[in-house]
Each structure stands twice: as C-alpha cells, then as structure tokens.
Amino acid sequence: MTESSLRGVFAPVLTPMQADLSPDVPKWIAFCKQLLANGCTGLAPFGTTSEANSFGLDERMEMLDQLVAEGVPAAALMPGVGTCAIPDTVKLSAQAAKLGCGGVLMLPPFYYKGVSDDGIFAAIAEVIERVGDERLRVYLYHIPPIAQVGFSLKNIERLIKAYPQSVVGMKDSSGDWNNLRGVLTSFPGFGTFTGSERFLLQTLRLGGAGTISAMANVIPDRIRQLYEHYQDGNAESLQADLDRYRETTRDYAAIPALKQVMADRTGDEGWLNIRPPLTRLAVEQVEDLRARWRAAVQQGAAVSPAADD
C-alpha cells in the first residue's frame, strides 16, 4: 500500500458565489490561501461543504485549473471528484492527477441506492483503470448520511488489495465512531481522515491521518493546534475547545451556518449566496447562531487567543 502523502487538517472549502450564483473565483482563491496560511495543512475543495455537486463539471474543472495556476500547491490538494457517472468522475480525477494533486476525494456513484459491494467496487475500479495515471491517489469518501451509498470494510480491503498504488486513504463522514474505529484498526497505514473534527483526538491516537472537516473553514488554527499537540497533556481540553465551536452550529444545516459565520466575520454579505436546493438560514436562526458563536469565542479565548475568531 502506498503511504498517504496527505496528513493533517483539511478544509472542504466553502465556495463563495456572486449574487447570480456563479462562483466568485478570486474570493475563493484568496480564501484557499488564507486557510493554508491560518492552519490548514491542505485543502479538499469540491467537498460536500463546498456544494461541489451543485456545480457543473465545466465549472469545477475551470476552478481547479485556476486555483493551481494562482499558486496554491497542488500537492496539498484533495479535490472532490465523485459523481453519479463514471465518465464524469474519470474527467475530474484525470485532471487532478495531471495537475499533481496530492489526492482525490471519491464518492461512490450515489444515484442508485441499495447497490451491492460488487457494484461499488466495479465503479471505483473502472474509474482507476480509465484514468490510468500512476499519479492518481484515491481517498474513498464514505458519507452515508448524504450519499446513502458507502464503502464497507470488506470493500475497502478489496480496493486496497486491487489497487495498492492508487487507493491510499479514506474520509469517514459516517458520524459513527465505531465505523471509523473499524477502519483505523483494520487498515493501519491507510490514510484515514475523520470527516468530523470531534473524532480528531481519537483518530490520531489510533494512527489516523487527520481530519477533513467543515469546521476547518472557520477555526483552522484551533484544529491544527490539536493536530500538532494531540500527544500533549492538554489534548483533551483542546478537543473540548473544538467541540464547543461545533455546538454552535449543531441545530442548523452546516453549510449555510458556516457561510453565515464567514459573512459575519468579514462583513461581506456575498458569503451568504448559496445554490439551491440549499437555502440561507432564517433571520431568527441567524440571531441564535451569532449568540452561540460569540459565546464559543469568549470561552475559546481562555484556551488560546486565536486571531481568527
């Protein structure tokens, strides 16, 4: 098994948009650079939090080209590439490999439900074979609460065995610690990321690679701190600090909530633009979220005074 070159704290980067819902590419690139400067070790653009699947193939490919052209190091990128259709996933994956991306984050095809492990294996295998690029590094994206279709332990094992050069890691967004623990203990050396920073300390203690977390869009420095200091005596309190921030958005859809935090932080209402079927938070939700966020920041200041709150 090829070792994962990607480790640490990755943001599934929020996608800022113009009022007409086209991507605000300059703002997006500036935000990507800021995240890398402020704590992220890498970026997973075109993740679920990025609204990737609300974007067309052309839009995604042009954006990734521009991101790399503007100097964001491809080696630190793990763009999302999973779609319902093998040819589309092949196009996105081939582009990423060619650009030198450190990896790609690959959803299984997610339109049909109740499909077999054999079918999911065949889909991923078909993509890897068609891309046919030894630079390709696949991170399997397991997010059954949204995709409904995911990767069983047996299927992960089969994929690693069949493609030891290519299948190097996974993002587990099951929200289920037992599943994540199963992956971590079954496949030591596999590049396993938790999809939620609330399992970060546990993940790192079991040898995991890090986290790809929506919250890394807004508190990258704090998550990085735990990543760097997870073996220190105060690791539990660093985890508790992260958990407090997560609580602020617990009752709301994560994507509009995080876009609201960005709008409040920057004073730029453009951050609120979001593609249907997602919608902005309602006014009363915004007030509640702001109050919760202020409280988390106040408490967080006692743990470590971060510039970014």
Distance CA 216, CA 294 (A): 18
Stretch that binds a second copy, among 65-73, 141-149, 230-238, 264-272 (CB under 8 A): 141-149
CA nearest neighbour of 44 among 196, 211, 184 = 211
113 binds a second copy (CB under 8 A): yes
Least distance from C-beta 112 to a second copy, angstroms?
6
Distance CA 29, CA 273 (A): 17
Size of the site for a second copy (CB under 8 A): 40
Residue pair 47/80 in contact by the 8 Å Cβ criterion: yes
Least distance from C-beta 150 to a second copy, angstroms?
11
Among 86, 206, 240, 303, binds a second copy (CB under 8 A): 86
Among 84, 99, 235, 297, binds a second copy (CB under 8 A): 84
115 binds a second copy (CB under 8 A): yes
Distance CA 11, CA 161 (A): 29
Among 3, 62, 65, 118, binds a second copy (CB under 8 A): 118
Distance CA 54, CA 275 (A): 7
Q: Which ranges constitute the DSSP H helices of the chain?
A: 25-37, 57-69, 86-99, 117-131, 144-147, 153-162, 177-186, 200-205, 220-228, 235-249, 254-266, 283-303
254 binds a second copy (CB under 8 A): no
Least distance from C-beta 159 to a second copy, angstroms?
13
Among 62, 112, 161, 188, binds a second copy (CB under 8 A): 112
Please state the length of the chain: 309
Q: State the Cα angle at 92 between 210 and 87, rounded to 5°.
A: 125
Least distance from C-beta 62 to a second copy, angstroms?
12
Residue closer to a second copy, measured from CB, 65 or 117: 117
Distance CA 54, CA 68 (A): 21
Residue list 32-71, contact with a second copy (CB under 8 A): 48, 53-59
230 binds a second copy (CB under 8 A): no
- The site for a second copy (CB under 8 A) is made up of 21, 48, 53-59, 83-88, 91, 108-113, 115-116, 118-120, 122-123, 126, 145-149, 275-279
